Structure 1
Amino acid sequence: MFVEINFDGLIGPSHNYAGLSLGNVASATNAGTESAPRAAALQGIAKMRHLIGLGLHQGILLPHDRPEVGWLRSLGFTGDDDALCAAAWREDPALLRNAMSASAMWTANAATVSPAPDTADGRCHLSAANLSTMVHRSIEWPETERQLRQIFADERYFAVHAPVPGCFGDEGAANFMRMAAQHGEPGVEIFVYGEQRPGGFPARQHRRASEAVARRHGLDPDRTYFARQSDAAIQAGAFHNDVVAVANERVLFAHAEAFADPAALYDFILAKLPDASIIEVPADRVSLADAIGSYLFNSQLLSLPEGGMALIVPAECRENKAVSGWLDSLPGNSSIRQIHVLDVRESMRNGGGPACLRLRIAVDKAVLPVIDQRYMVDERKCDALERLVERYWPARIKPDDLGMAETWAACRRARGVLFDLLELG
C-alpha cells in the first residue's frame, strides 16, 4: 500500500518581503513592507497539524542558514560573519537581501520526485532543483540536497540526484504533475516548461531541464509528457505551473488558460488513464487574474484515507467572489468532495500558497521506517515546534532590519535551537 507524505518547509526566522522574485505578483506587490516571521511559521505549522488531523503523513524540511555567508564569501567579502554581512549591506544591499531570503520554505521547488512505480529501477527518485533563474533561490540547492540525502539515505529505496546544470533552469515539483489511478500504480508524469518572451516575465522552467530529470529518473517515454505553459499564464504572474494547475491521482484541476495546448495534454492523459477526471475552470468563470490573486490552483489536492479527495485552499479564495462561487460548485459535481480553508497569509503575501509550502512524496507504507524520523512530524512535534517558534522567531522584520546584526544573530540562534530540538547537531 502506497501512502503520500507531504514535506512542508518550516518558514524560517528570516522571512521577509524583499520583492526578489520577478514575475511573482504578490512578491512585488508587498515588497518593502514589514513581515511577521513568527506568525508565518505558526501558520505553516497549523497547516501541517491540519493534515495530520486528516490522517495524512507529514514531514518537514528545515530553514536554511541565513544570512548565507558562504555565498557572500564567494563574492569576495571577507572577515568574520558579521563583518562581511555588514560590508555587503554597506556596499551592495541587494546582495545581503538575497543572502537573507527564506524562500527555501517553498519546498515545492526543492526537487522533482518520481515514485517507485514509474522508474526503471523501482526506486523513488528525487532530483534537487537548481532554481538558477532567480539569484536568491539559486543559492538554495546545496542545503536542500543535503537534507534530501539525509532524509532519504537508504539507497535500496531512494535515489537522490544533484541538480541538473544551472544553464537549464529547473524549479522542481512546482512545474511537475503526476497522475495515476492510485499512488502505488504506474502513473503518467507531466513536466511543464515555459518559453521566453522578450521583455516579459521569465519562463523559469526549461524543457531541457525537465527532459534531463525524466532521463535520470528512468521514466517510460510513453508515459511522460512535456507540456508548454501558456504565455498568457506566465505574463499574468503564474511564474510556476502550480499557480494555475494541480493534479492528484486521477484528477487534474486546471485553469483553461494554464497550457499552450490543453487539448493535446488532455488527450494524452485520457489515453493513458481513461478514468481520469479533468476539471477545467473556464476563464469566463474565474479569470487568470482572479486565479492568480487567490491562488486557487496553488491548493493541495489530497486523497483522504477514508476515500475521496480534499482541496486545501488559502483563505484568500473565500475573499474572491468568483473563486468562492466556483468552489461552492465543486463538491457536488466532481471527485473533490471537501474544501478546507486555511490561513497561510504570510506566505501568500510573498507569493506562495498551500501547495508551494509542500513537496509531495508517495512511498510504499513499508518503506516509512527507513525515512529519517527526525524529519517526520506528529501532533507532539507540532506542539514542540510551536513553542520553539513562539520563543525564538522574530515577531517582525522591517526592510532595514535585514542589515542589522541583531537580526542575523536572532536567525542563527533560532535555527540552532531548532536543530537541537530535532537532534540534528
Structure 2
Amino acid sequence: YDPLAEYLSFIDNGAFSVDGVLTDFPVTPSEAIGCFTNLKKSKTDHGKPLIISHNGASGDYPACTDLAYQKAVDDGADVIDCPVQLTKDGIPICMSSINLMDDTTVAKSQFASQTAVIKDIESVLGVFTFNLTWDDIVKNLRPKISTPFSSFKLDRNPRYRNAGNFMRLSDFLDFTKDKDLSGIMISVEHAAFVAEELGFDMVDSVIKTLDAAGYSNQTAQKVMIQSSNSSVLVKFKQQTKYDLVYMINEEVKDAAPSSLAAIKKFADAVSVEGNSIFPENRHFTTYQTNLVESLQNAGLPVYVYTLMNEFASQPYDFFSDATAQINAYVQGAGVNGVITDFPATARRYKLNTCMHMGNNTPSFMAPARPGDLLQIISKPAQPPAMSPMPLLTGSDVAEPPLPPARTAQAPSLASRMQAHAAIVVTLAMLLACHPLV
C-alpha cells in the first residue's frame, strides 16, 4: 500500500532504471524521481518531524509484539510506544486494546466463553486483559494483525497474521534500552475504571516498572506518557519528571484559551486526530483548522495520529499517497511529529532531499491545500455542508482526581462477572432441560 515505494522499485533499485512511467497520479512518481532517489538511509536524525510508532510497526506485524517493535526500530522510528493494559494478576503489558478480541486469537480459545459487555469501556462484547492472567495470555493466545480496512478487502501482511510474541511492559523496557531511539511513549487509559473496579493503580504500576528498569535515572532516552485523561497526567506530573502528552480524542476545530491554560498545567505536548487539523467531508478535506497554531503558540508541540499507508485511510486530496499526506501535515500544518502504523514511510519522508529547499521546493512537493479538490466538483454534486466542529474548552479537559484503588473488601468486577456468567450458564442448562413450549 505504498505507491512511492512501487515507483522507486523501478527507478532506484541498484540494478536498473526504467526510462519513464505511465500513471494516473503524476505527483507520486514526480516525488520519487525528484526527492527520494539515492537517500542516505543510514543517516540518524531524531529531529522534526518526530516519528512515533503506533503499537510498533503495526502495519507490518501484529500490534505490540516483539516483531512489530523490532521492525519499528529498524524502520527508523524515533519513539516506540507501549499502550499499557493490566492483566488479572496485575501485570502491566503492552497491548493495543484492553479488549483482547481486537488483536489476539482469544475468540478461538477456551476463554471465548468469558465475553461480556462492559459499558464503562465499550459497548461491544469483549474478553478483556483483566479477565486473564499473563500466563493465560502468553500460553494460550496468539497475536492477530489489525485489519482496519477489511471492508475494502485490504489485509495486512497475511503471511505474518499471527506472528510475534506478546510483551510485558518490563520486556518492552528491556528491549528499548540499547536501541537508537530518542525516547519511548507509554499510553495509559481506563485508569479510573481499573482502580475502582479491579483494585489496581495503573499509574503506580507503570512508575514502579519504569523505576525497576532504570528509567527514573536514565537521560539518553526520554520517557513520554500519553493519556486522554488529564487526571492520569496530573498524577504522573506529581510523581515523576517524564514528558506528558495529552491526547485529544475528539474532533475539535480549535482550543479555547481556558483549555490551553488547563493543558499547560499538566502536559508538555498534545496529540490530535488528523480530522482536527484537516476536517473531512465525504473523504474530501474542507479547510485547515487553527488547532495546531493555537497549541504551538501556547508552547505545546503537536503530534498527529494515526497515519497509515492504506489509501482508504486518506482523503482524496492526497491522491492515495501516504507521503503526500505526511507532507500536508508536516509542511502544510506544521505538526511536530507523526504517530504512524508505518514508521518506514515517515522515515523515508524525513530523509527526502527536498525537505529543506525553502522557496526552491518543487511544486510537486508543495503540500496539498485543504478544500481545493472539493471546489473542483460542480456545486450540485458537492456533499452537504458539515455541522460546525466544536471548540475544546476548559471543561472538556478538567477531570476529578483519579480514585484510589478499590479495597479488597469491595466486590470486584471479576467476581461480579463470574456470578453473572454462572447465572447465564444455569439458565441455559434449565432451558435445555425444560424447553419453553
Q: What TM-score does the superposition give when structure 2 sets the normalisation length?
A: 0.28
**Rg larger in 1 or in 2?**
2
Q: Structure 1 length normalisation: TM-score?
A: 0.29
